[in-house]
A and B are shown apart, each in its own frame.
Chain A
Amino acid sequence: MPTELSEEVVKEAVEQHEELGFEVIHEKSPVFYDRFERKSDLQGQTHYCPGCGHGVAHKLIAEALADLGLQDKTIFVSPVGCSVFAYYYFDVGNVQLAHGRAPAGATAIKRTCPDKIVISYQGDGDLAAIGTAEIIHAANRGEKITVFFVNNAVYGMTGGQMAPTTLIGQKSTTSPFGRRPSNEGYPLHMAELIATLEAPVYVERVALSDNKNIMKARRAVRKALELQRDGVGFSFVEILSPCPTIWAKDPVEARKWVAEKMIPVFPLNVFRDKKPEALTDTAPPIRPVREVLELGTKSTGADVTPHHAHHFKEFTVKVAGFGGQGVLLLGQLLTEMGMREGLEVSWLPSYGPEMRSGSANCHVTLSRERIGSPLISHPDVLVALNEISLRKFASQVAPGGFILYNAERLPADFTLPQARIVCLPASEIADKLGSIKATNMVMLGALLEETECLLPATALNVLRDKIKKVAMMEVNDQAVAAGRDFIDHYVRVGAVTQPDGFAG
């Protein structure tokens, strides 16, 4: 504590305290360390300037923690600012955090240790400038922490720059002509701001201007901590605090300045004091990790054993179409099937905004060996669900490859690539079956029938497990069957809708 106050001032203070019914204790709170090791030569003193409000605020907090018996339970988060070294004084668990981020850190500390007392102690630069987002959101989430906000209208630590709370007209090293609203805006009223939010349970502004107000501050500090102790919710105490050094005033004048200049701008008030309603939302039930992470999920259908000898070493498919045509799902189903047949598999989607409205595509690799690149430059099969995809990707198909195109016939001006093409009106077929959404399933059936890359039985098993909508189950099965039939009846018997383009 600064020890520069004259005996008279101390005497007056003691009398005032006693008048107010407080017991005046001259001992250092047991929540403070016996020796302050910040300054090796002056271990009885803090690093704060004489008359600094931080010292008083510390004292009020230490006192409350001691009285409430919370010392062993407390985690004190110090900010960046003059109070960065609060951990030299408070004999509690201490965490020092980056400039402005104490409420974020305190949030996670509290959630890690929900039954402990977590204090975020911050200056006005820390809380109201660089850390505005963190304090608003911690308050809005109703984190069950206590924030002590020391507003001294300047940046103390860095030598007197303007703070968001600097008064209009007040000079600082970065507002040398006085704060001008036209250039720097207006003092930020944090207590009022916080009190506009729903979650906080207690918001009060107090001042270290005179003993009477200090006593009010004392009560506010205590109340805020009690509320946290009782698990009630977010509590916030703004403390108008003298900074004699930066203000270039002696300690007594500085206190007067708080009373005369700051309080009119930052009125003292209890802005919020409510009992919170019991929140009725509930967390999801806790289940075993195995279950949650689906580590042991078995396919519900009969597992297809990989006795089926795959006719390829590696088989690659590119599926492309409009977003919403089930392009990615079709690819995923193929991949899942491959995996169940004991193959190495990979599925690589196009992703991002292009998927929202435009086109989507994905690459599927089925392999008997470890897969190198999941990116396919020359797929064995292109499943083109729309014309754009056909035009865009047909030329990529590997020589000897195969294109499955969702339409009655090829576009008139389309030049055939080095691949065989089968056109099938999958959308129409699906529509007739009852859902155009099953277009991709018709394509799947055709693909399986034509290439024999994987077993249709596997497809049905996978569909059973992956498509949860009962209404779609039957349609999907029929769609796969229809796709297979189409190949059987129209293609195998030679009725290819377009000439065989294979020239390899």
Chain B
Amino acid sequence: MRQLCKGNVAIVKGAILAGCRAYYGYPITPASEIAEAAALYMPQVGGTFLQAESEVAAINMVYGAAAAGARVMTASSGPGVSLMQEGISYCAGAELPCVIVDVVRGGPGLGNIAPEQSDYFAMVKGGGHGNYRNFVLAPASVQEMAELTMLAFELADKYRNPVIVMADGFIGQMMEPLDLEDREITLPEKPWAVKGTPQTRANLISSIFLEPDQLEAHQRKLEAKYQRAQQVETRHELYECDDAEVLLVGYGITSRVLRSAVEAARRNGLKAGLFRPITLWPFPSKELAQAAAKVEKVLVVELSNGQMVEDVRLAVNGRVPVEFFGRTGGNVPSVEEVNIELTQRLGVLA
């Protein structure tokens, strides 16, 4: 049955339905409702909620809980996510499954609390030190806030890797109908975890590999799983792409604006389509290249000065001109603005 729910709250509902019973976090706008919802729900379902002393502590608590085999999560935004980067790198290095939500706000520095998508590089390209990848999922609705959080836990355990749910201030703060079912889930066995039992006594959770050959072998192992994920874990959504002459590309809240922009453009006789990456890493490059094969132009719209556009350009590989339109600071382009950009850029093309 549908309930009206805030995006940030939907994250916690999804997490609990995915069997997560541990939340460690530190408040920050516009992600605080996630911590608040976890504080409200977790103890009532037999889980743990702990407000950490900082995001640094929070991510290391996540590391500890994951090391002990728990499905565990944290959430933050902007400065808080920056503070977590060391810990995320450790989690990736020690192959600890965990879910981190970044409700992106304006930066750099304290920036502001309005929505941006300027953490793309930090989340998708790493951000912490060393050779590792985060899985990054980009929800575009309240329903997806819950569903992609559930998926995040699955992927985290499947690949023993951190998974980021990268939302933005708007998706986090908005309310939409949420339709969830309580379901039986079987949590995966984690024979590698350290649980203080005779069976797990020999286990070690560590990201240290002192010998160059050892560390290289470890990184190759990580890389192999990343390669595997790139083959099978990409997700995307197409809208009106079949006969599109121009392809809009955007994720999260931006994709919502672009969907309306496609409709508006089509009302004006311009055949526009929308490609929405759902996984930002692995990036749906192949699918994007396919969708872009028949169009005359690609327009990437982001709440940044151009971050995802680099991956779009790599995917399209020069076959189609890729234009970029970005707004920042908390400005979300209106449908009209996008359409003006669209006609102007097409004008340039003509």
Contact = CB atoms under 8 A, between A and B. Distances in A.
A112 B22 contact: yes
A376 B89 CA distance: 39
A87 B202 CA distance: 10
Contacts of A115: 196
Interface stretch (A211-219, A234-242, A347-355): A347-355
A332 B175 contact: yes
B150 to A, nearest CB: 13
A7 B176 CA distance: 77
A373 B208 CA distance: 47
A283 B58 CA distance: 21
Contacts of B257: 372-373, 375
Contact of B57 (A117, A137, A285, A296): A137
A373 B335 contact: yes
Given A134-B57, A345-B4, A377-B336, A289 B173 contact: no
A307 interface: no
B65 interface: yes
A285 B196 contact: no
B323 interface: no
B335 A92 contact: no
Given A287-B45, A298-B1, A73 B334 contact: no
A377 B336 CA distance: 8
A98 interface: yes
Contacts of B202: 91
A374 B174 CA distance: 8
Q: How would you classify the secondary structure of chain A's contact residues: helix, strand, loop or mixed? A: mixed
A370 B143 CA distance: 12
A241 B87 CA distance: 29
A119 B113 CA distance: 39
A346 interface: yes
Interface in A107-124: 107-109, 111-113, 115-118
Interface string A71-100: 111110100000011010001111111100
A284 interface: yes
A353 B69 CA distance: 39
Interface string B72-113: 100000000000001100100010000000000000000011
B318 interface: no
Contact of A104 (B57, B94, B259): B57
A484 interface: no
Given A96-B208, A105-B60, A347-B176, A293 B41 contact: yes
A373 to B, nearest CB: 4
B300 to A, nearest CB: 17
A84 B72 CA distance: 25
Nearest to A344: B177
A335 B142 CA distance: 14
Contact of A96 (B169, B175, B205, B263): B205
Contacts of B258: 372
Given A111-B22, A134-B60, A352-B114, A104 B52 contact: yes
Contacts of A372: 256-263, 335
A108 B196 contact: no
A98 B60 contact: yes
B212 to A, nearest CB: 15
Nearest to A369: B263
Contact of A98 (B4, B90, B197): B90
Contacts of A87: 204, 206
B148 to A, nearest CB: 17
A101 B44 contact: no
B60 A104 contact: yes
A148 to B, nearest CB: 17
A118 B258 CA distance: 51
Contacts of B262: 372
B207 A96 contact: yes
A107 B176 contact: no
A298 to B, nearest CB: 7
Nearest to B46: A286
A183 B187 CA distance: 54
Interface string A136-175: 1100010000000000000000000000000000000000
A72 B44 contact: no
A95 B4 contact: no
A286 B42 CA distance: 9
Interface string A260-277: 000000000000000000
A339 B2 contact: yes
A133 B54 contact: yes
27 contacts: A75-B68, A75-B194, A93-B200, A94-B194, A95-B67, A95-B68, A95-B204, A104-B61, A108-B22, A112-B48, A112-B68, A112-B69, A115-B196, A118-B196, A287-B45, A293-B182, A295-B13, A297-B1, A339-B2, A345-B4, A346-B176, A352-B114, A372-B257, A373-B256, A373-B335, A374-B253, A375-B257
Given A136-B53, A289-B17, A335-B4, 11 more contacts: A87-B204, A93-B196, A95-B68, A95-B205, A96-B207, A109-B65, A112-B22, A133-B57, A286-B46, A347-B174, A372-B262
